[in-house]
Structure 1
């Protein structure tokens, strides 16, 4: 499977104009509306009225309501990857704190876009494009985490165990479900204030087979 790539250009009938304020306004309005009501209760007319544009103007930017959700998901993913880039690139530090920092950044971004998460959850099963994008995003996370686990094993901090990719998949799916349950108010779910610490402890125990791995000397 190819790595994740942004799909905003696919959401429009014409090539995307960089920095287009109107497109951003549509996405901002959609995210705000989705924070107030379920996806099925948000119409294209609602989006048009929120931004103050005509129907032809809306369709210049997005071919459908699903295309708006795609662009919102794309925007959320890019924000999440950007927020965790520094954490993954700062290799060689304290293992526990590095993983905690990355998980915290991911949880924070997820929380800031919980309305998008809910909309994706409502439409993913029925919409192949949204399902495909979500799969690509998860695949990118898995590859990134696999690489980090392999690095920890190579530098002698994490012991060999199950294949790194399989471990990365299990941990990624756990985070996805735990964050989704919390952001959508499901029960049972983990306490929001404890989520980062709990996930971090599970990750560290799974990767290093110890609750607090030591930073390598030298």
Structure 2
């Protein structure tokens, strides 16, 4: 009889233990769910974008999967599709974010509010620093653009935005007599596209050039084209 009671107590304790574990698991699940519900959409989207950037720092774009990205976040895999159609759409958003960052770095010169030569120097140094630091991301974006029409279109749109802004700045400089009488649109296109290629070649490939020398070279070319007598 005592053995039977001991056996029943053991079963009861095992059941209680499992119940407690289940409750703790449910509590953890509820806590994670509450955390996810509290996260704002913009914050969740940025978390996914940051995770994608982190992955691309270590791996090429062709190896990236949704699982790889979401495993680096505190979000569930299905959450990915609340913000992105697929990994190509994710890369398009990365391109747009990169474009906004690039524009912000050059905005001081583009706005025409300060001294043009000083603003040009500061803008070039910031741009070079970003290319040197985020070369892994830019290489991944270029790789994705070569395989996906939508990504390429987004990348081209980013470059065209910079060209249009530079053309407007050059045009304003011509009107003020500060810039030589040149074709604003064509000169802006030549300078921006030259910068893009030059930065890729000198800061991504080995041996990498000195960022300071790269920035000074860009400034020298722009000054000679725009401001030299």
Tell me the TM-score normalized by structure 1.
0.78
Structure 1 residue 112: deviation in Å?
A: 4.1
Bigger helix share = 2
1:145-192 CA distance string (max 9 Å, x none)? 11111122222122213x1111111100110001122342256x6432
Who is 1:201 aligned against? 220
Residue number among 71, 74, 97 corresponding to 1:75 in the alignment? 97
Would you say how many aligned residue pairs link Structure 1 and Structure 2?
Answer: 191
Quote how far apart the aligned CAs of 1:52 are. Answer: 4.1
User: Is residue 135–residue 204 contact of structure 2 (8 Å, CA) maintained in 1?
Assistant: yes
| Shift, 1:69, TM fit | 0.9
* Contiguous gaps of at least 5 residues in structure 1: 1-16, 211-218
Give how far 1:33 is off: 1.0
The answer to whether structure 1 residue 84 and structure 2 residue 106 are counterparts is yes
Unpaired runs of 5+ in structure 2?
1-38
Evaluate the alpha carbon distance shift between residue 18 and residue 115 of structure 1 in structure 2; reply closer, same or farther with a 3 A threshold. farther
Determine whether 1:137 maps to 2:158.
Answer: yes
Deviations 1:110-155 (A, max 9, x none): 3443232111111112211111111111111111111111122222
Q: Deviations over 1:37-57 (max 9, x none)?
A: 111122211112111433322
User: For 1:150, which of 171, 184, 188 is the aligned residue?
Assistant: 171
Match of residue 171 from structure 1: 191
- Which one is further off, 41-50 or 100-109? 100-109
For residues 18 and 149 of structure 1, the distance between their equivalents in structure 2, rounded to whole angstroms, comes to 41
Aligned-partner Cα distance in 1 for 2:175–2:75:
55
Secondary structure class of the residue paired with 2:178: coil
- In the TM superposition, residue 92 of structure 1 has moved relative to its aligned partner by 5.6
Of 36-45 and 197-206, more deviation after overlay is shown by: 36-45
Q: In the alignment, which of 172, 194, 205 is matched to residue 185 of structure 1?
A: 205
Distance 1:186 1:59 in 2: 38
1:157 match: secondary structure: coil
- Please, which of 45, 51, 70 is the counterpart of residue 23 of structure 1? 45
Structure number with larger C-alpha Rg:
2
Deviations along 1:80-136, whole A, 9 cap, x unmatched? Answer: 22233233224362x322222222233333344323211111111221111111111
- Shift of residue 73 of structure 1? 1.1
Alpha-carbon RMSD across the aligned residues, in angstroms, is: 2.2
The aligned counterpart of 2:181 is: 160
